[in-house]
Amino acid sequence: MSSLEKKRQKQKLIVIGMFAILISLLAFNILRPSEEEQVISSYSQQLLNNDGMQEASEEERERFRKDWENLSKPTQEKIIRQVMLGRLDQIRLRNQGLTAEERKANLDKQLKRMRERYDNMSYEEREQARERINSSEAAQMVKRVMDFYQSELTAREREELDPLMKEWFQQLEELSN
């Protein structure tokens, strides 16, 4: 093999190597989730795994609220939808294989807890809830929940959950007055 052929072969290998590196970088960037998708996933997992921040300290909740306010509205809506879908999946998994009577008993427990939480709210908590409920964001949230309820739940699930929704609306009505 002459030196000219060796040089050409070396150039071909370099071009092929550079092409392979370029293709792999391009594939990596295409397959990598966008920054928004990473934020949505992070927030959704945090809310789903931490039971809605119930276990978090006040400092963590405040930091979360500030970060939340810095997100764009479309990103917030995507996170809310992702969390609602995640919760629905969790409920479906918990109810999988249960009889109608067992599902009714679980629903009755949830309804009782919902009423107890509402009955045990302090005056200050009720005032804070009243302020939030009377905001335009609350109206959008209720609309979002109802759209989700209608579009994502089956007719049987809606029928079973109707008592919870009725209680929720009743509590919203009482707080908004």
Which pLDDT does position 11 carry in this prediction?
Answer: 81
Alpha helices in 50-122 (DSSP H): 58-69, 73-95, 100-119
Helix (H, G, I), strand (E, B) or coil at 147: helix
Which pLDDT does position 113 carry in this prediction?
Answer: 92
The single-letter DSSP state of residue 57 is -
Distances (CA, A) of 175 to 53, 74, 133, 137, 160: 23, 28, 7, 15, 25
Q: What is the mean pLDDT of residues 142-148?
A: 87
Q: For the whole model, what pTM was predicted?
A: 0.61
d(CA 165, CA 116): 16
Q: Residues 128, 131, 132, CA angle at the centre, nearest 5°?
A: 90
Q: What is the mean pLDDT of residues 139-150?
A: 86
CB 96 within 8 A of CB 89: no
| 9, two tokens | 């072969």
Given a cut of 70, whether residue 3 has pLDDT beyond it is: yes
Give the count of beta carbons closer than 10 Å to the beta carbon of residue 175.
19
Q: What is the mean pLDDT of residues 11-15?
A: 81
pLDDT in tens, 74-120: 888 888 888 888 888 888 888 888 898 998 998 899 999 999 999 99
Which pLDDT does position 120 carry in this prediction?
Answer: 92
pLDDT in tens, 31-80: 666 677 777 777 788 777 765 566 667 788 788 888 878 888 888 888 88
Helix (H, G, I), strand (E, B) or coil at 97: coil
